[in-house]
């Protein structure tokens, strides 16, 4: 894994925060612009036409509301840093030969633990009866 890839994984939370900030900013600008710009055009020019109004709205939405919507969609598909690490690291850990060797070792240790500490003979239990075998 390259250092740049590790760096990208570590900054995913900041990227998501930036995308959310951009989406909110563009949404607010587009929303208020939809109201304010046509009113300003109507006040400044007495020859205000509907074609001009729709042209301005189309341009405003193209540069603000549509990118805001795209940023919201994009934000949903970018994982958080912890999620990205889990997505990348867990399969590598599971496929690791060292972990597979540890599985055999831990299985042996657990069997030994169960035999020594958990499975006691009935005579060693206080008030033990012969039929209390586990």
Dump pLDDT digits (tens) for 82-121: 888 888 888 887 777 777 777 777 878 878 877 776 665 5
Q: What pLDDT was estimated at residue 125?
A: 55
Q: What pLDDT was estimated at residue 2?
A: 76
Assigned token pair, 102: 């540890």
Q: What pLDDT was estimated at residue 120?
A: 59
pLDDT at 23 over 80: yes
Q: What is the dihedral of CA 116, 121, 123, 128, to 10 degrees?
A: 110
Among 18-32, 69-83, 97-111, 116-130, name the one with the lowest average pLDDT.
Answer: 116-130
Q: What pLDDT was estimated at residue 4?
A: 81
Distance, in Å, from the CA atom of 108 to the CA atom of 91, rounded to the nearest integer, reads 24
Q: What pLDDT was estimated at residue 128?
A: 53
For the purposes of burial, counting CB atoms within 10 Å of the CB of 26, is it exposed (0-12), middle (13-18) or buried (19 or more)? buried
Tell whether pTM > 0.85: no
For the purposes of burial, counting CB atoms within 10 Å of the CB of 124, is it exposed (0-12), middle (13-18) or buried (19 or more)? exposed
For the purposes of burial, counting CB atoms within 10 Å of the CB of 68, is it exposed (0-12), middle (13-18) or buried (19 or more)? buried
pLDDT-derived band at 127, boundaries 50, 70, 90? low
Distance, in Å, from the CA atom of 45 to the CA atom of 68, rounded to the nearest integer, reads 30
pLDDT-derived band at 48, boundaries 50, 70, 90? low
């Amino acid at each position: 894994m390259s250092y740049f890839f590790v760096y990208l994984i570590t900054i995913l939370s900041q990227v998501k925060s930036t995308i959310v900030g951009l989406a909110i900013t563009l949404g607010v600008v587009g929303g208020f612009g939809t109201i304010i710009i046509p009113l300003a055009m109507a006040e400044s020019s007495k020859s205000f036409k509907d074609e001009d109004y729709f042209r301005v709205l189309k341009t405003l939405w193209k540069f603000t509301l549509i990118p805001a919507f795209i940023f919201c969609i994009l934000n949903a598909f970018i994982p958080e840093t912890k999620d990205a690490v889990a997505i990348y690291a867990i399969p590598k850990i599971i496929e690791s030969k060292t972990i597979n060797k540890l599985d055999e070792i831990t299985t042996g240790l657990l069997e030994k633990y169960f035999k020594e500490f958990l499975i006691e003979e009935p005579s060693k239990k206080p008030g033990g009866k012969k039929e209390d075998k586990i």
